[in-house]
Amino acid sequence: MSTARRAGQPTPGDKHWMTLQEAAVYIAASVKTVRRRIASGELPAYVCGKRGLRVLREDLDSLMRPV
């Protein structure tokens, strides 16, 4: 039995990066809402390449507050 991981599989301790589309699905909101949260400073975003933006799943989790 091999312990080698396939390419793209997360390892423990890895950060989980998400595209804006994936983030919108994750929090059940629109991409426009995710972009607004980034613009307001509520959600940190990181540049990936020339045009891509990524967010961390942990940051999305911290957006959620109990009511």
Task: Confirm if 29 and 21 have CB atoms less than 8 A apart.
Answer: no
Domain boundaries, the chain: 17-63
* Alpha-carbon span 3 to 30, nearest angstrom: 38
Q: What is the pLDDT of residues 57-66, one digit of tens each?
A: 999 999 998 9
Among 18, 41, 46, which Cα is nearest to 31's?
18
Instruction: Answer positive or negative: Cα dihedral of 34, 10, 49, 42.
Output: positive
Distance, in Å, from the CA atom of 10 to the CA atom of 34, rounded to the nearest integer, reads: 24
Give residue 14's pLDDT band: very low, low, confident or very high (50, 70, 90): confident
15-26 per-position pLDDT tens digit: 899 999 999 999
Which segment, 4-8, 29-33, 46-50, is predicted with the most confidence on average? 29-33
Strand 46-48 relative to strand 52-56, pairing:
antiparallel
pTM for this prediction: 0.75
